[in-house]
């Protein structure tokens, strides 16, 4: 076992910290620092009193409260909505509650789910669909149709500048390797499980407010560091680096973002040596955030047909490693949506990224839903805003 005497200093941030990294982290001087720089960032609350600050064990035990189980009548309603939309012969970009009309009862439950996603607990799991009954195109229409009740504005999620759909197949989102605790960009993330795969791949969620409250007591200096600028590497030579903080306080809400890939690289794609290296304080803060998030997280094991919708500005998420199986490949579909009526106000420093995500980057109002993954299996997908953890 590694000890304080045998541990070597870390040279750089690791995408997935090892057990040795964690031991080294606990022995770091900043773990017990009490200097003035270890205080909360100016103007930030000392505690977040909100139902969003939930305990993972308690939340796991309340699964019936955050699971919207579809009845046989609900399934019939969804299939009728699917058939009705296809009969309209209109572009998929026009998928909305009006063109994908479910029963009144299901509509009310979805609208109530939207309130819970934008309030507390910040997520809902829609369960009961059987994707094997549908083509991949029909799965996409069903996902987009149901998700439109949560948010009407879809984000551009793929590399073409118009794609609103991403197949969770390429690095790290698109490999079987673990995805560290992170946030994406955008408001609500919609994940539809076409096929969960054969083994592993548990999904994890954790409340940002819970992490914040824990750090505010145990190590407020981490929050101060996260509220200061980090230099992001986009990992694409044609897309310039930029500076932004990871912790924001805007309109009475704390927004905690978590990325590691722009600072650690992933696989063969390394952070540019032309960019300033992370400071020791920044590496410590990112690792502390990661370890706290993992310790405080809850697990969800997807079933085929699960539709998970969660508020990306209120929750962090990750995925455990899974065992690849050519006969039973894992296949998830991802969309980003925003509700113009329920969506949180965006901090000014993030407005450019939200505009790039939700604004029109090609033909006005064009949206592409590629049914086949547009990525090479070993390549990080191109996008100026997609951090992917």
pLDDT, tens digit, 9 for 90 and up, residues 232-259: 998 888 889 999 999 999 999 999 999 9
Predicted confidence at residue 329, as pLDDT, reads: 78
Predicted confidence at residue 149, as pLDDT, reads: 99
* Range list of H helices, 280-348: 280-295
Check if the beta carbon of residue 101 is closer than 8 Å to that of residue 127.
no
Task: Give me the residues of the chain with pLDDT under 50, please.
Answer: 1-10, 168-171, 173-174, 374-389
As a whole number of angstroms, the distance between CA 337 and CA 343 comes to: 10
Cα–Cα distances (Å) from 110 to 72, 120, 124, 148, 339, in that order, read: 16, 15, 10, 10, 13
Q: What is the CATH number of domain 38-389?
A: 3.60.130.10
Long-range contacts, stretch 322-329, CB < 8 angstroms, 24+ apart: 322/176, 322/197, 322/198, 322/199, 322/200, 322/201, 323/176, 323/197, 323/198, 323/199, 323/200, 324/176, 324/197, 325/197, 325/198, 325/199, 327/198, 328/195, 328/197, 328/198, 329/169, 329/195, 329/197
Copy the structure tokens of residue 312. 């990306």
**Residue 244 three-state SS:** strand
Sign of the dihedral through C-alpha 54, 55, 59, 61: negative
Check if the beta carbon of residue 165 is closer than 8 Å to that of residue 367.
no
Strands of 65-113, DSSP E: 67-69
pLDDT in tens, 322-332: 676 677 677 88
157 phi, psi to nearest 5 deg: -105, -10
As a whole number of angstroms, the distance between CA 283 and CA 279 comes to: 6
DSSP state, residue 30: G
Counting every residue written for the chain, the total comes to 389
% helix, strand, coil for the chain, step of 5:
30, 20, 50
pTM, to two decimals:
0.89
Predicted confidence at residue 331, as pLDDT, reads: 86
Q: Where are the domains of the chain?
A: 38-389
Check if the beta carbon of residue 179 is closer than 8 Å to that of residue 384.
no
Check if the beta carbon of residue 344 is closer than 8 Å to that of residue 239.
no
Check if the beta carbon of residue 259 is closer than 8 Å to that of residue 182.
yes
Check if the beta carbon of residue 151 is closer than 8 Å to that of residue 144.
no
Sign of the dihedral through C-alpha 237, 239, 243, 247: negative
CA dihedral (274, 280, 283, 286) in degrees, to 10, reads: -130
């Amino acid at each position: 076992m590694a000890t304080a005497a045998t541990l070597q200093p870390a040279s750089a941030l690791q995408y997935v910290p090892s057990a040795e990294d964690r031991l080294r982290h606990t022995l770091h001087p900043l773990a017990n620092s009490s200097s003035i720089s270890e205080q909360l960032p100016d103007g930030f609350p000392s505690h977040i009193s909100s139902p969003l600050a939930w305990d993972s064990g308690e939340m796991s035990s309340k699964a019936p409260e955050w699971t919207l189980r579809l009845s046989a009548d609900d399934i019939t309603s969804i299939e009728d909505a699917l058939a009705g939309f296809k009969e309209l012969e209109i572009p998929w970009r026009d998928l909305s509650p009006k063109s994908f009309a479910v029963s009144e009862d299901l509509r009310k439950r979805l609208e109530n789910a939207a309130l819970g996603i934008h309030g507390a607990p910040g997520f809902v799991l829609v369960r009961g669909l059987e994707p094997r009954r549908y083509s991949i195109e029909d799965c996409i229409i069903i996902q987009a149709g149901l998700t439109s009740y949560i948010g009407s504005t879809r984000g551009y999620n793929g590399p073409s500048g118009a794609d609103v759909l991403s197949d969770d197949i390429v690095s790290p989102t698109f490999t079987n390797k673990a995805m560290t605790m992170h946030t994406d960009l955008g408001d609500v993330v919609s994940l539809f499980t076409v096929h969960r795969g054969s083994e592993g791949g548990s999904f994890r969620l954790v409340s940002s407010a819970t992490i914040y409250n824990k750090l505010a007591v145990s190590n407020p200096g981490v929050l101060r560091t996260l509220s200061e600028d980090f230099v992001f590497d986009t990992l694409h030579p044609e897309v310039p680096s930029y500076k932004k903080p990871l912790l924001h306080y805007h309109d009475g809400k704390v927004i905690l973002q978590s990325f590691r890939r722009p600072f650690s690289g992933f696989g063969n794609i390394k952070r540019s040596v032309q960019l300033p290296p992370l400071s020791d304080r920044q590496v410590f803060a990112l690792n502390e955030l990661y370890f706290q998030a993992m310790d405080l997280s809850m697990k969800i094991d997807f079933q085929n047909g699960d539709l998970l919708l969660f508020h990306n500005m209120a929750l962090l998420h990750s995925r455990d490693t899974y065992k690849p199986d050519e006969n039973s490949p894992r296949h998830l579909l991802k969309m980003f949506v925003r509700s113009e009526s329920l969506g949180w106000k965006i901090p000014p420093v993030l407005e450019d990224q939200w505009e790039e995500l939700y604004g029109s980057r090609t033909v006005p109002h064009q949206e592409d839903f590629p049914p086949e993954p547009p990525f090479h299996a070993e390549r990080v997908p191109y996008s100026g805003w997609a951090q992917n953890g």
